Copies of this chain bind each other. A is one copy, B any other.
């Protein structure tokens, strides 16, 4: 386990939330690896808090599907199998389709403007070559759509599903070869939303997810 785990935000937040965010970050960044045990005492010592907030943070991580605990055995970082990823992506595909349909109905001029901005920023980001910036821009683009869908529960779910694949997605976005295709897909989605063409936007969104799925499957296979 990494030893650079450290609490950041001194904000006025319950420690359980601070611990939760810290561990979440660490898992998503890969500092805490899948299958690695999350031992309360160890984490508590490392983060300089007591076991109580650690335990509560772990319960919250379970919630997000980032950790799994076995009673009287402890918690560990959730593993992601290829099957598991397919399952998540199936769900994400269905919900992304829903989101774009809703956005198609509800997105206003303001929302479209933000979406266009996010799209441009994504294009700029790919040209800069900074992977982190690319990832953030991608998140922003999709968030703009989710926001327009005006369904907070849907937004939460989608962000959650995204998180569960984060580690793999970063690899995806590292591959500069995919940028062209991604930009084109984003443009298509944007265009369809602007034109309120619901059928086409659903297809576009679906393809977008399926492409990611295929890429990631290949990646996982290569890993082995």
Contact = CB atoms under 8 A, between A and B. Distances in A.
A157 interface: yes
Given A71-B13, A71-B17, A87 B56 contact: no
A18 to B, nearest CB: 11
Given A17-B71, A71-B14, A90 B154 contact: yes
Contact of A152 (B13, B71, B87): B87
A213 interface: no
Interface range for A? 20 to 34
A183 interface: no
Contact of A59 (B13, B60, B94, B152): B60
A16 to B, nearest CB: 8
A58 B186 CA distance: 40
A88 interface: yes
Identify which of A13, A14, A88, A151 gathers the most chain B CB atoms within 10 Å of its CB: A151
Nearest to A63: B63
A87 B157 CA distance: 12
